Amino acid sequence: MESKLHVSSSPHFKGNNSTRRIMLDVIIALCPAAIAACVIFGLRSMVLIGVCVSTCVLLEYASRKIMKRDTTIGDLSAVVTGLLLALNLPVDINPLIAMFGCLIAIVVVKQMFGGIGMNFVNPALAARIVLLVSFPSAMMHWVTAAGAPAAAQIDATTSATPLAAAPGVYSYIDLLIGRCGGSIGEVCAVALILGGIYLVVRRVISPIIPCVYLATAALMSLIVGLDPLYQLLSGGLLLGAIFMATDYTTSPVTKWGKVIFAVGCGFFTILLRAYSNMPEGVSFSILLMNILVPHIERLTTPRTLGYVKKAKGEKK
Amino acid sequence: MAELSFPKRPYRTKGGVHAPHNKNTAHKESVMMPVPAIVALPMTQHIGAPCKPMVKVGDTVDVGQQIAGSDAFVSAPIHASVSGKVKKIDKITMPDGSKVEAVFIESDGEQRLSPDIKPPKVDSLSDLITAVRNSGLVGLGGAGFPTAVKLNIPSDKNVDTLIINVAECEPYITSDHREILENSWDVISGIITVKEFLNIHRVIIGIENNKPDAIKALREIADSSIDPEDEIRVLPIKATYPQGAEKILIKACTGREVPVGGLPSDAGCLVMNVGSIAFISRYLKTGIPLISRRLTVDGGCIENPVNVIVPIGTPIKEVIDFVGGYKEQPYKLIMGGPMMGISLPNDDLYVLKQNNAILALSEKEAKYNEPTACIRCGKCLDACPMRLQPLELANAANRGDIDALKAYNAMNCMECGCCSFTCPAKRHLVQNIRMGKALIQKAKRDEIAANKGGKK
């Protein structure tokens, strides 16, 4: 036999997981929300998604080239970022503003910190916040959704979001199927929940973060005197809890870390919604908790098998 | 102490991965390999001190004659597996790359049994330990720890449970499975011998539930009149990798945890491989030391996968030729299982005592991917049976941060490979952690050396 054997460290078997497969699953999970966006806001949302995704991929490719590093667009993470960012924007936003958001997400937040796995905050979320602060009026120009109740109408083309509207304007059904104003991806709760179930079933995400986030938000709503179900279904909470807070890179890897992280997200979301000047608090609360992740992980190192504080025999 | 009870179902263990079982050889009768023309017996076929040759070039040796030994406590003597002439004593390269002295014996084909061979007289525990030591037995499951040392339990440890390891969680390997089906009585009589001498009243046979025929065979004997006090029970455990790892098996069978840095005896357990226990019973009957063993020859590139009983020291190439040779050029040749085995640089090596399988894997089976960036998905944490944080350990090892390695309990890693198996970014986690463990050990040695230097 010629000496052509490959020698490497064990294990010699590898599972079928891959980064690309995981990202593809996230894209699949976002499809219901994207389709719902097209139904509710028309084909303009498709154009917006297309602009964001292609800009993100292009920027990722270009920045890796400029930095003389391997191209990483094959792992599809830039597509996920672009898609998430698009779903977080109002439908009639100027495409140039959207492209600026992509620049912030991919170049500033992701690649400047070392690319995939190295960013300390969620790129899409950070971009959304930069846009919100830089272009507040464009970012809060909510086009009336198909079938939205007339009472929510502000003028001929726009209407209030569920969080800004007077109580009773939107019914739970309106919120569930997306007959309300808001970012293109956040309005249809059913589509988001479907995507979340897909991710949990495919074991891409653990249900800890979304469930604890939503439970904490519901509890907090009760405490501050808001309608819990209305709070959960409105605004970006579902999109944030299912797709943003569960971002691998910027959430804790330990089980109890995930719990603490999600509790923090839920707590700050409702706190901001109830007491701050802004109608929405999801982005800021997740961003804040993102920054705390390294500390949370250090506090929640799991107990290794056989570790006992006082090594004295067996526990009875 | 409370009466020991037998668990109805295994205790919960965390982590692990579902590696493909690929137990292609489980239903094939083992075949006996004819005597090879030459065997090579390296002086290190166990954990512990290497042996020194007791024969010279040109000596005539008989089957079962001791050819090498050591006075060290942790060691195991080596016996000739063929009769013939000592051709040379030379250094050979071991699977792990180290150079070790080996005795080459050219077979005369007679297989003349040594006149010294007779069943040992065993009346007490110390007799048993001496007999096991003389038999050259090491743990046949793969680690190769001398069994006599294992049986020699320190008096301050209270060992109340004997666990027989038949998990055989590595893909492909079926040598323990075949041992049970072909020699189930040896297994049970070996268990009875060990439990009587060690005065243990609870024996749990931990066996993965993917071997229903072996479970049935063992239960039939264990429930018969041979075990009147009903002290031997078969416990089927779930078939996930790595259920056969000592610490995990102890947890699954008794719910106890071996303390960090401790031994199974610290948790009151003695864990023995089924092949080792069956060998003890055969040795006490015949007195023939460890000169042959059963190993699985399998993999996508093997023409006719089967379990083979081979004399120890047989060239691996001959074993593969005996089962029909290669179907195609193998991509990887592995000694042991695909999860923890060592990949060999060529087939010019020899069967060792603790060698339970030879696998010739195709490129499709042993796929290799370049590692990409960690996305912090945390799947390695979920897979780690020791509940460590492989990603943190690997990062710490890569930056050479010994304090961080210690803080994350690097030494508690048993290198099962679940983290590397499950990693979507295909990172070489276990390889990095192994490197980190070596760093800790080096730092410890340096510290000891520095202290000694200071005293002088």
Give the residue from B60, B84, B112 where a domain finishes. B112
Cα separation, B422 vs A17, whole angstroms: 7
- Cross-chain Cβ contact A249/B375 below 8 Å: yes
Nearest-CB residue to A306 (from B259, B378, B391): B259
Whether B364 and B440 share a structural domain: no
In a domain, B400, yes or no: yes
The domain limits of chain A are 20-299
Whether B427 and B348 share a structural domain: no
- Cross-chain Cβ contact A10/B326 below 8 Å: no
Whether B93 and B151 share a structural domain: no
Half-sphere exposure of A76 (CA within 13 A, CB side): 13
In a domain, B157, yes or no: yes
With CA atoms as reference, the chain B residue closest to A18 would be B424
- Cross-chain Cβ contact B331/A72 below 8 Å: no
Contact B203, B51 (CB under 8 A): no
Whether B421 and B352 share a structural domain: no
- Cross-chain Cβ contact B317/A1 below 8 Å: yes
Q: Residue A309: what pLDDT?
A: 63
In a domain, B14, yes or no: no
- Cross-chain Cβ contact A13/B339 below 8 Å: yes
- Which residue, B17, B21, B12, B20, is CA-closest to B242? B17
Backbone angles phi, psi at A246, to 5 degrees: -90, 0
Q: A302 to chain B: which residues are within 8 Å by CB?
A: 381, 387-389
pLDDT along chain A (316 residues), means of 10: 77 90 96 94 93 97 94 93 95 94 96 92 95 91 82 79 82 88 91 96 94 96 93 92 95 95 96 87 94 94 79 43
Q: B387 to chain A: which residues are within 8 Å by CB?
A: 302-305
Whether B193 and B322 share a structural domain: no
Give the residue from B286, B319, B345 where a domain finishes. B286
In a domain, B322, yes or no: yes
In a domain, B118, yes or no: no
- Checking phi first, is residue B445 left (phi over 0); if not, alpha (psi -120 to 50) or beta? alpha
Largest CA distance in chain B: 65
| Pairing relationship of beta strands B232-237 and B203-208 according to DSSP bridges | parallel
Residue B409: exposure state from Cβ atoms within 10 A (0-12, 13-18, ≥19): buried
Q: Residue B3: what pLDDT?
A: 63
Q: A305 to chain B: which residues are within 8 Å by CB?
A: 14, 247-248, 251, 257-258, 385-387, 412
- Is domain A20-299 annotated with CATH 1.10.3470? no
Whether B210 and B280 share a structural domain: yes
Interface ipTM: 0.88
Contact B17, B240 (CB under 8 A): yes
Give the residue from B286, B312, B332 where a domain finishes. B286
Q: Residue B429: what pLDDT?
A: 95
Count: domains in chain B: 4
In a domain, B62, yes or no: yes
- Cross-chain Cβ contact A10/B426 below 8 Å: no
Whether B401 and B309 share a structural domain: no
Q: A115 to chain B: which residues are within 8 Å by CB?
A: 373
In a domain, B318, yes or no: yes
Query: Hey, which residues does B100 pair with through a beta bridge?
Result: B92
Whether B281 and B324 share a structural domain: no
Whether B135 and B266 share a structural domain: yes
Q: Could you say which residues of chain B have pLDDT below 70?
A: 1-3, 454-456
- Domain containing B216 equals 125-286
What's the CATH number where B64 sits? 2.40.50
Whether B55 and B138 share a structural domain: no
Q: Residue B425: what pLDDT?
A: 93
- Cross-chain Cβ contact B247/A14 below 8 Å: no
- Cross-chain Cβ contact B17/A15 below 8 Å: yes
Whether B274 and B310 share a structural domain: no
Whether B149 and B242 share a structural domain: yes
What's the CATH number where B311 sits? 3.10.20.600
In DSSP notation, A219-272 reads HHHHHHT--HHHHHHSTTHHHIIIIITT-STTS-SSHHHHHHHHHHHHHHHHHH
Nearest-CB residue to B376 (from A5, A15, A253): A253
Q: B328 to chain A: which residues are within 8 Å by CB?
A: none
In a domain, B312, yes or no: yes
Q: B422 to chain A: which residues are within 8 Å by CB?
A: 15, 17
